[in-house]
Amino acid sequence: MKNIFKFLFVSFIASLLFSCEKDEDRAVIGNVTEGLLRSDKTDLTLAQENADQTAVTLSWDDPSYGPNLALSNQLEIALEGTDFQNAKAVDLAAGSSSISYTVQDFNALLLNAGANAGETEKFELRLKSSAGASIPETYSPVIKMTVKTYALISYLYVPGAYQQWNPATANTLVSATSNGIYVTYIDFTAAGSEFKITVERNWDNSYGTDDNVNLIYNGGGNMKAANAGPQKLSVNLNTKKFTLIPYSMGLVGDATANGWNGPDTRMSWDDANLSWSITTSLAAGNFKFRVNNDWSENYGGSNGSASSGGDNIAVAEAGTYKITFDPFKLSYTVTKQ
């Protein structure tokens, strides 16, 4: 009998605690009011020569959910008229009330939100706030902004012995976001092949080296590829260093001649179009793009959009196809010939 009374007493206390917890939750949420987003500019023309300057400062007032609730904010940016479908969302630091963007960073943000580089377009921005999974999200009133963006991509060039030292036809080093890091792919014809890096397609300004690691602007000797064959050249102007590593791109899969076990069907670098390319026979089946006959770097995808480790790409029927892969835009084409 005593045990029964103990059980009933514990159950009674637990129900009281549960009721109190629920009442407290309801009291904490209180009346929800939306946040407010502001911008110090609403009409901008962005230019690469001003990349490091401040483009815009956004500030906001948090919504009010009631006391003792942790709040998280996101900035959402979308092209006008898209109803924030596929909006670019940026997490905002907890406790912050403003953020400033440089020209380069804001330009990149808008391009990621769907802007067409070089065009003047209208954007919508809003503050999205959340106080937990069980509490409805709130959105600030939308602010509108008109901005002209620019293409982020920038280039250097690699004249050398592999192409008779002609800057006009040299391979192109690409920095997809103009962040000082450049990449290209070169099939060196011989071990010890020498080259330099030029700023334009001429010899006016160039980079050399004294140790085959560090770059020297308008000085130093020729750089050297220790081995023959296809290699990836990476140049970092922030650290003034460069690297070369063996690098070949190929197709692998049951749609290719050698199946999923390889060796891969090797593609060639098309510097004119800045993409890997091949025209080859494929069977009905699937394939992926793979680097150096190894699964540590591979790309798949769908509808022309590629991603690292993405899905197999289907080939509906056998035939001869021209296939391209753009490593900068992460896109591909499969065209029957």
Q: Is residue 7 part of a domain?
A: no
Evaluate whether residue 30 is within a structural domain: no
- Residue 162 inside a domain? The answer is yes
Residues 240 and 179 in one domain: yes
CA dist., res. 199 & res. 333, Å (int): 31
pLDDT reported for residue 81:
95
Asked whether residue 60 is domain-assigned, the answer is yes
Asked if the structure places residue 55 within a domain, the reply is yes
Residue 255 CB partners (closer than 8 Å, separation 6+): 282, 283, 284, 285, 286, 287, 315
Domain count, the chain: 3
> Do 200 and 240 have their domain in common?
yes
Those residues with Cβ within 8 angstroms of residue 130's Cβ, 6 or more apart along the chain or in another chain = 71, 72, 137, 138
pLDDT of 221 reads: 97
Are 141 and 42 contained in the same domain? yes
Q: What contacts 9, CB < 8 A, 6 or more positions away?
A: none
Q: Are residues 115 and 161 in the same domain?
A: no
Identify the pLDDT of residue 29: 56
Residues 123 and 171 occupy one common structural domain: no
The residue among 91, 116, 148 that closes a domain is 148
Read off the tokens for 164. 């008779």
- pLDDT attached to residue 151: 83
> Mean pLDDT in runs of 10 for the chain (337 residues)?
42 41 46 88 93 95 78 94 92 93 91 87 96 84 96 92 97 88 96 97 98 98 96 96 98 98 96 97 98 97 95 98 95 96
Per-residue model confidence (pLDDT) at position 28: 52
pLDDT, residue 294, reads 96
Which residues constitute the domain of residue 294?
249-336
**Beta strand ranges found along 196-273 (DSSP E):** 197-198, 206-208, 216-217, 223-225, 229-236, 241-246, 249-252, 265-266, 268-270
Pairing of strands 88-92, 43-45: unpaired
Q: Which of 148, 170, 187 is the last residue of a domain?
A: 148
Same domain (yes/no): 134, 48: yes
- HSE on the CB side for 320, CA within 13 Å? 2
Task: Assess if residue 327 is contained within a domain.
Answer: yes
Q: Is residue 24 part of a domain?
A: no
pLDDT at 104: 86
CATH number (domain holding residue 51): 2.60.40.10
Domain final residue pick, 116, 132, 148 = 148
The pLDDT of residue 65 is 75
CATH number at residue 293: 2.60.40.3620
- Within a domain: residue 26? no
What is the Cα–Cα distance from 306 to 249, expressed in whole angstroms?
14
5 three-class SS: helix
Q: What is the pLDDT of residue 265?
A: 98
